[in-house]
Amino acid sequence: MRVAYEDLGTDQFEELVVAICQFLLGIGVQGFATGTDGGRDARFIGTAELYPSKNDPWKGTVIAQAKHTNGFNKAFSDSDFYSAGASATVLAKEIPRIKKLRASGELDHYLLFSNRRLTGVAEEKLRNVIVAECDLTASSVALCGVEQIERWVKSFPQVLELASIDPVDSPLRVSSDDLAEVVEQLAEHMKGAPERPVLPVPRVTYELKNQLNNMSAEYAKELRKRYLKETQQVKTFLAAPENIELLNRYEAAAEEFQLQILAKRKNYQAFDEVINYLVNLLLERDPILRRHKKLTRTMVFYMYWNCDVGLSHDSST
């Protein structure tokens, strides 16, 4: 069964890359925590065991970087990954890190992994960009797309276990379609609409719900401050008779999110992480939701506030 790489969490994908590198380069591959390593997800110092080949392996310091996306059918050739002259692309942000490591003598070879499709044309173009910008040779730079990752997963099936990945047990798999339809029409409805007072909702208290779901007090307070004032408009909009179809789509989305959260959430996870992961996944996958980021976050908060997602009673009683 093929792994749904787009449904993995970023941490899981990085762990998979480290595991693959241990087979390609050697057991001495060292993984780094996200966000604290200056761009290095993995480092290997020595002579590689298998890469690029047994007969002509890389020697020196190898830096491997993982760039995960939750988007469907994404490619290295997409403009968000690289566009000449653009400073906000994935590769544009990565190049200064490579240059810094190269200048300090901490990088001889560079491997870039992403769960994007990679064509021969895109591979040559992007490799040449890295070579020109970072004072590296073409033979010391490699880009690895989802096709190559899948081949290595089949060659080294142990990497899935090392990265704690089960193809049938991936994180939240949710569709953005129903919510996107609701958000798009709600955005039109709310243009210029006056704020309405927040009316009480028959539910457990917000404080108790946060305790049941392991949401931090600081995060819960910030959510309420930013999005509570919009909940009455959402409630009124969904309750309008002419919006019955949108209410049905909202309920379908909330049901899907709730079932996925209950099935996939780990016991130790704070609900802060669940909310962030869900919102980021939705924004990544749907252009309508990306155009209405704040309203998307408002709708996810409304689901939580309205007790449509998350625990609303003590499951032990």
Burial class (CB in 10 A: 0-12, 13-18, 19+), 130: buried
In terms of Cα–Cα distance, which of 71, 64, 127 is closest to 284?
Answer: 71
Biggest CA pair distance of the chain? 72
Q: Give pLDDT tens digits for 81-111.
A: 999 989 899 999 999 999 999 999 999 999 9
pLDDT at 65 over 50: yes
Across all residues in the chain, what is the average pLDDT? Answer: 87
Q: Which of 49-53, 216-220, 302-306, 311-315 has the lowest mean pLDDT?
A: 311-315
Locate CATH 3.40.1350 in the chain.
5-162
Q: Give pLDDT tens digits for 264-281.
A: 776 667 899 889 888 888
Mean pLDDT to the nearest integer, 14-31 = 94
The DSSP bridge pattern shows strands 141-144 and 59-67 to be unpaired
SS3 107: coil
Position 163: which residue type?
A: A
Mean pLDDT to the nearest integer, 10-33 = 91
SS3 52: coil
Confidence of residue 173 (pLDDT cuts 50, 70, 90): low
- Position 38 scores a pLDDT of 46
> Global pTM?
0.61
Confidence of residue 36 (pLDDT cuts 50, 70, 90): very low
- Position 40 scores a pLDDT of 59
In terms of Cα–Cα distance, which of 190, 312, 303 is closest to 251?
Answer: 303
Confidence of residue 10 (pLDDT cuts 50, 70, 90): confident
**Three-state secondary structure string covering 195-215:** CCCCCCCCCCCHHHHHHHHCC
Task: Please provide the CATH number assigned to the domain covering 5-162.
Answer: 3.40.1350
pLDDT at 1 over 80: no
Total Cβ atoms within 10 A of residue 16 = 26
